[in-house]
Structure 1
Amino acid sequence: MTLTSEQQDFAASVAEFCRRECGTREQRDALTGGGRETHHDGLYRTMAQLGWIGAGLPTEFGGADGGMVDICVFLEETARGMAPLGGFTTSIIVAEAYRRFGSPEQRKLVLGGIADGEVAAIAMSEPEAGSDVAALSCRAERRTDQHGDHWVVNGQKTWCSNAHIANTILLVARTSSGKDKHDGLTMFQVPADTDGLRINGIDTMGGREVNDLYFTDCVLPEDAVVGQVGAGWRQLMAGLNLERLILAAGMLGTAQRAFDDTLAYIRERQQFGRPIGTFQTIRHRIADLATEIECCRLLVYRVAELVDEDPDRLRPREASMAKLKVTETAKRVALEGMQMMGGYGYATEYDMQRHVRSTLVSTVYGGTSEIQRDIIGKTYGL
């Protein structure tokens, strides 16, 4: 995988921006409330003005018409720079759904908003429907009254990333029931300030990231449907290439940052009269981790190139491989980094404990490692 000169310049510009705007712990603490918040609106909108948030969006909606490789470059560099841009991942996932299935009016509103720096979220999981998303029960019923046709939503969603900072939420709800639970699901456009929607934050080790959503007689207009009624499952599957790959690209940057922080520490930390990095046991660990990260990088960008070659082709095997390999590797890098840093790796004074927390959850969200392995196995007819 070789980046073009433009992509290399893009990566360098993003990296330099991150060093300048959030390169120190003091800067990041100021931007995130001491690590409690994962997204800073001002920083995000500045990047949007530079054209970076819309790098992968069509030009007609304010984007740069780039591809998956460009998105991966941005994700890797911002994650490596620890930029608080938590809203980007879900926004790009939502953007892909609207690009494929949204009406012209919906695309103009949502894609244009994302390019300008607005955040979008997607609501799928429920208390009883996590890995088995198709088992969801949050229901939208079509009704007609003196005001015309509309939808009424009732139910709960959970683990909804970035709903508390979102302008719009892409809801997946059940509109009918049949023999196959995958049938009868529909996507809806829901403004975050819609009456009947209540958003409650869930405290996590990573700070304010995810939310419970409660829909109580939430009225949506007839044209809130995104795509076709009852086709929500097929539409979700069409976006899995993007979702799994962007999660992998972000964790690739986090893995590299955890490695960089570990390397800087073991070069400086002295024990028994010399830097601990010169001891063979540490040196070999570093060699193994560096090799694994490079394997991840090759995999991520190879899959990104395949997606760019044929954006409409589903690649469940390759996308799941990328998500599985990179998140598991990132977790290993962070945990071994903490081990090599000893007590300092555990101290909140250093960033390693943050890397550990963010990489641990990466093997859970977006489809657990167990689910990714299951998907890969099924592609071999098992």
Structure 2
Amino acid sequence: MPIDLTDEQRAFERGVEEFCRREAGTREQRGTEPHHPGIYRKMADLGWLAAPIPEEFGGAGGGMVDTCLFLETTARMQAPIGGFTTSIIVAAAYERFGSPDQKKLVLGGVATGSVEAIAMSEPGAGSDVAAMTCRAEPTDGGYLINGQKTWCSNAHLAERILLVARTSGGAGDHNGITMFCVPADAAGLRIHPIDTMGGREVNDLYFTDCFVPGHAVVGRVDHGWHQLMAGLNAERLILAAVMLGTARRAFDDTVTYVSQRHQFGRPVGSFQALRHRIADLATDIECSRLLVYNTAGLVDRDPGTVLRREASMAKLKATETAKRVALEGMQMMGGYGYSTEFDMERLVRASLVSTVYGGTSEIQREIIGRTYGL
């Protein structure tokens, strides 16, 4: 590892690997969807989902390095626990800004296996989050929500939606945005699946006079934008760690294949054209690991600091690397890389979208550039 791991962390990593190999080692065990409730429940029972949750809410109190280690390992072993990614992103927001009751409900729920989702994007507001128009209007005892959200990951699995809606101002105004805790079964909320090549992952959310009480506000009214910005470290590192594990799995599968596949009387990996590509991919993966874990270590040393440059670099490098490794792997495996008999086609699908969600690669480059005063 590019950082020093404790004996406890190494044992944790081995335990997760062994579990995944036993419980999710075949395509039949993993199934076809990104999230397997049975495997997720077993991990919750083992206490692993509680790793990043504070002890006072039933967690293990682990840091960002622990979280990244778990995410990288489960992604590398292809454990189908897609709901965990959004759940810990949401948990981090509640940990910072939630009321005591909200923290107990959400953080305690994640520790025991609940799935959480967050709704920000809209048909006309993607990278430009401030363009949102979904509105929460004050009413007696609470708010009435009307509007649409889209690309909401895991909403169909979630117990609650962390909704980011406009409470004042107009489209383009960074002020006037508020976070709300909305039960997934709330009256006036309809969750509709969006078909994708990755399976059932994302959803449209339609709010029609959906009422939430005043205590559903998470943090402060009209301060949602600043609250979102405070969570950038966690969100981008979480996504980076998942894609680091995905890149490692694609690389390992590629090396295995080119070592075993013979053409012209020898393994295809022994040809310079492929051997040099493998060397480049290995170097990119190691660069990604150094960047992800160095940034995670910085977060653990000072959790309150927003690392705009480093977190964006980690997300950019890890996702672009995962996409490159998977596509190169498919190319080197030839037709077998395209076949569902092998896992490479699934890794390609998973990595392609990673450069879009959680802030596109173009947005990450913009953020990085601006940190240099450009």
Q: 2:169 aligns with which of 171, 177, 180?
A: 177
Tell me the amino acid that sits aligned with residue 281 of structure 1.
A
- In the alignment, what sits opposite 1:49? 45
- Give structure 1 regions of 4+ aligned residues with deviation exceeding 2 angstroms: none
1:193-232 correspondence to structure 2 within 5 Å: 193-232=185-224
Secondary structure of the corresponding residue to residue 189 of structure 1: strand
The CA distance in 2 between the partners of 1:179 and 1:195, in whole Å, is 26
Q: Give the residue type in structure 2 aligned to 1:21.
A: E
| Residue 27 of structure 1: how far off its partner (Å) | 1.7
Stretches of structure 1 that go unaligned for 5 or more consecutive residues are: none
1:78-157 mapped onto 2 (5 Å cutoff): 78-144=74-140, 149-157=141-149
Q: State which of 5, 8, 11 in structure 2 corresponds to 1:6.
A: 8
Deviation at 1:178, TM superposition (A): 6.0
- What does residue 58 of structure 1 align with? 54
Q: How far apart are residue 167 of structure 1 and its match? A: 0.4
| RMSD (Å), alpha carbons | 0.9
**2:45 counterpart of 1:27:** no
Give the residue type in structure 2 aligned to 1:46.
Answer: K
Deviations 1:287-346 (A, max 9, x none): 111111111111100000000011111001000000000100111100110110001111
What displacement does 1:25 show? 2.1
Aligned twin of 1:355: 347
**1:208 aligns to what SS in structure 2?**
coil
The one-letter amino acid of 2:42's match is T
Q: Work out whether 1:301 is the aligned partner of 2:303.
A: no
The answer for the alignment partner of 2:156 in structure 1 is 164
Q: Once the two structures are superposed, what CA deviation does each residue of 1:183-215 show, in whole Å capped at 9, x if it has no partner?
A: 000000001000000000001010000000000
Counterparts of 2:201 and 2:114, CA distance in 1: 16
What is the Cα deviation at residue 48 of structure 1?
Answer: 1.1
Correspondence list, 1:250-265, <5 A: 250-265=242-257
Instruction: Provide the residue aligned with 2:267 in structure 1.
Output: 275
What is the CA–CA distance in structure 2 between the aligned matches of 1:351 and 1:137, rounded to whole Å? 40
SS in 2 for 1:218: strand
Q: Counterpart of 1:3 in 2: which secondary structure?
A: coil
Unpaired runs of at least 5, structure 2:
none
CA–CA distance in structure 2, aligned partners of residues 238 and 223 of structure 1: 21
Aligned residue pair count: 372
**2:49 is the counterpart of 1:73:** no
2:372 equivalent to 1:380: yes
Matches of 1:47 and 1:351, distance apart in 2: 23
Q: Name the amino acid aligned to 1:88.
A: F
**1-side partners of 2:28 and 2:167: how far apart?**
49
TM-superposed deviation, 1:49: 1.4
* Residue of structure 2 in register with 1:15 after alignment: 17
